[in-house]
Homo-oligomer: A and B are copies of this chain.
Amino acid sequence: MKIQLVNPNLTQAVTDRVLESALAAARPGTAFEAVTGAFGPEVIGSRAENALAAHGVLDLVARHAPGCDAVVLAVSLDTAAWACRELLPIPVVAMTEAALHTAALLAPRFGVLTYGRRLGPVYRELVEACGLAGRLAGVGTVEVTPQQTFSEPEFVLASVREAASALVEDGAEAVVLAGAAMAAMAPRLQADLPVPLLDGVACAVGLAEMLAHQRWPRPALGSVSGTGGREVRGVSPELRNLFAQK
């Protein structure tokens, strides 16, 4: 089984970390094609960068999804997930929704932890859009940047540990790490925390393996069914062709 790992931002270090987490989580026999964005934001740190990254996600799946059995969106705002499902005949799983649904099987209420107070409300909106707000204990943030994950790893780990503990204090019975750059961080912190610490990439890989194995069909009617072919212009030929597919 081959799974595409889509990182629409331009930071290879994030892709590397995502791949590390995916490999640790995968079953034997699962291979990955990890791809990094070619245009768009260096790192998604705002609503506008996320909006722009949607194009990047679509372009990456247009180029690399063919030949894969599933797609994992390794972008913690789950950018363009339903758009990808509409365009592709294979399962698409985004990392934060994956962690939320997995958390829902382990704990009655869970927290979400991310980089920067600025994006806290955006993750709350994501949980609401996912329909799981009723199970959200809270959203926590650490005042570090994704880049510091690589430049000051110990400081970032300590910050995440502290913020996760605060979520537990507020009633979280599991904690979702929402940040592609947080991939592979859970194993290093789990021993210090009394509740499961969920890595979205690992969860998404597991769910993508399951969906690809069980071969559920995608809807042939409704808001995520195939469109029958749409015309778009001014984008890469691969993406134009993907939109045009009957």
A residues in contact (CB < 8 Å) with B: 10, 25, 27, 38-42, 45-52, 54-55, 57-58, 80, 82-87, 91, 93, 97-98, 101-102, 104-109, 117-122, 125, 128-135, 168, 171, 173-174, 190, 194-196, 198, 202-203, 206-207, 209-211, 213-214, 216-225, 227, 230-235, 239, 243
Measured CA separation A223–B129 after assembly (Å): 17
Specify which of B131, B174, B207, B231 is in contact with A210 (CB 8 Å cutoff): B207
Measured CA separation A7–B194 after assembly (Å): 32
Measured CA separation A54–B134 after assembly (Å): 25
Q: What distance in Å separates the Cβ of A119 from its nearest Cβ neighbour in chain B?
A: 7
Output the nearest chain B residue to A171 by Cβ-Cβ distance: B121
Output the nearest chain B residue to A61 by Cβ-Cβ distance: B48
Chain B residues positioned under 8 Å from A82 (CB to CB): 47, 108
Known contacts A25-B214, A54-B54, A219-B194; is A104 also within 8 Å of B121 by CB? no
Measured CA separation A214–B199 after assembly (Å): 11
| Complex A-B: 8 CB contacts under 8 Å | A10-B233, A42-B230, A46-B83, A51-B58, A51-B83, A91-B105, A93-B105, A196-B219
Chain B residues positioned under 8 Å from A107 (CB to CB): 219, 222, 224
Contact between chains at A219 and B234 (CB < 8 Å)? no
Chain B residues positioned under 8 Å from A58 (CB to CB): 48, 51-52
Contact between chains at A221 and B195 (CB < 8 Å)? yes
Please list the 5 inter-chain residue pairs (A to B) with the smallest Cβ-Cβ separation, ordered nearest first: A39-B234, A51-B83, A194-B221, A206-B210, A48-B83
Specify which of B196, B216, B221, B227 is in contact with A218 (CB 8 Å cutoff): B196
Measured CA separation A134–B47 after assembly (Å): 19
